[in-house]
Amino acid sequence: MPFSFNPLWKMLIDKGMTKEKLRIALGLSPSTIAKMGRGEYVSLEVIEKICRHFDCQPGDLFEYINEEAPANATQV
Length of the chain in terms of residues written: 76
- Bridging pattern class, strands 63-64 and 3-4: antiparallel
**What are 6-49's pLDDT values in tens digits?**
999 999 999 999 999 999 999 999 999 999 999 999 999 999 99
Domains and CATH numbers, the chain: 3-64 (1.10.260.40)
**pTM score > 0.85 for this model?**
no
Q: How confident is the model at residue 75 (pLDDT cuts 50, 70, 90)?
A: low
